[in-house]
C-alpha cells in the first residue's frame, strides 16, 4: 500500500468526519487495495482484491455511482459483505473516482461511527472533495 495514498486517506476521513476507509485502484474490472485506515486485519485480507460487482466497492465500480448503507452491521440489501460488518462503524458509502475521460480509476469507501442517512447532496460533496486523491 502507498504511504502517500494512506496519508491522503487519513486526512480525507478526518475532513469528512469518517472513522474508517479504503481506496481501491481499478484495473481490468478488479479493484486492488491501495490504502486503508481503521480496517481490521481479517477484513483487510478479504478486501485486498475486489471483483467487479462484489460488495459496496465492486458495485460502485459496476454501476459507476455511489453505493451506500445507513448501517453496515444491519444492512440486508446484499451490498454489504459479511466481512465488512467487522468494521467498527455504521453508515458507509463507496464511490468511484474518474479520470478526465470519465473512466473509473479508483473507488473510495468511507464509514461513519453512527447510523445516518447520507443524502445525494452530501454524497456528491464527498465525491467532489475526494477529487484530489493521488490516484
Query: Where do the structural domains in the chain lie, given as residue ranges?
Result: 3-132
Q: What DSSP element (H or E) covers 14?
A: helix 3-16
d(CA 120, CA 4): 29
| Backbone φ/ψ region at 17: left (φ over 0), alpha (ψ -120 to 50), beta | left
Q: Which CATH class is domain 3-132?
A: alpha beta
Could you read off the pLDDT of 94-116 as tens digits, one per residue?
Answer: 999 999 999 999 999 999 988 88
Could you read off the pLDDT of 17-63 as tens digits, one per residue?
Answer: 999 999 999 999 999 999 999 999 988 999 999 999 998 999 999 99
Amino acid at each position: 500500500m502507498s504511504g502517500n495514498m494512506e496519508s491522503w486517506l487519513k486526512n480525507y476521513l478526518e475532513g469528512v468526519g469518517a472513522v474508517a476507509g479504503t481506496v481501491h485502484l481499478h484495473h481490468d474490472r478488479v479493484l486492488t487495495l491501495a490504502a486503508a485506515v481503521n480496517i481490521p486485519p481479517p477484513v483487510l485480507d478479504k478486501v485486498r482484491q475486489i471483483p467487479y460487482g462484489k460488495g459496496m466497492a465492486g458495485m460502485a465500480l459496476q454501476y459507476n455511482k455511489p453505493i451506500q448503507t445507513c448501517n453496515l452491521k444491519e444492512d440486508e440489501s446484499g451490498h454489504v459483505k459479511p466481512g465488512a460488518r467487522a468494521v467498527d462503524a455504521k453508515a458507509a458509502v463507496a464511490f468511484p473516482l474518474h479520470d478526465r475521460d470519465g473512466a473509473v480509476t479508483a473507488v473510495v469507501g468511507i464509514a461513519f461511527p453512527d447510523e445516518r442517512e447520507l443524502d445525494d447532496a452530501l454524497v456528491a460533496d464527498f465525491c467532489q472533495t475526494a477529487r484530489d486523491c493521488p490516484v
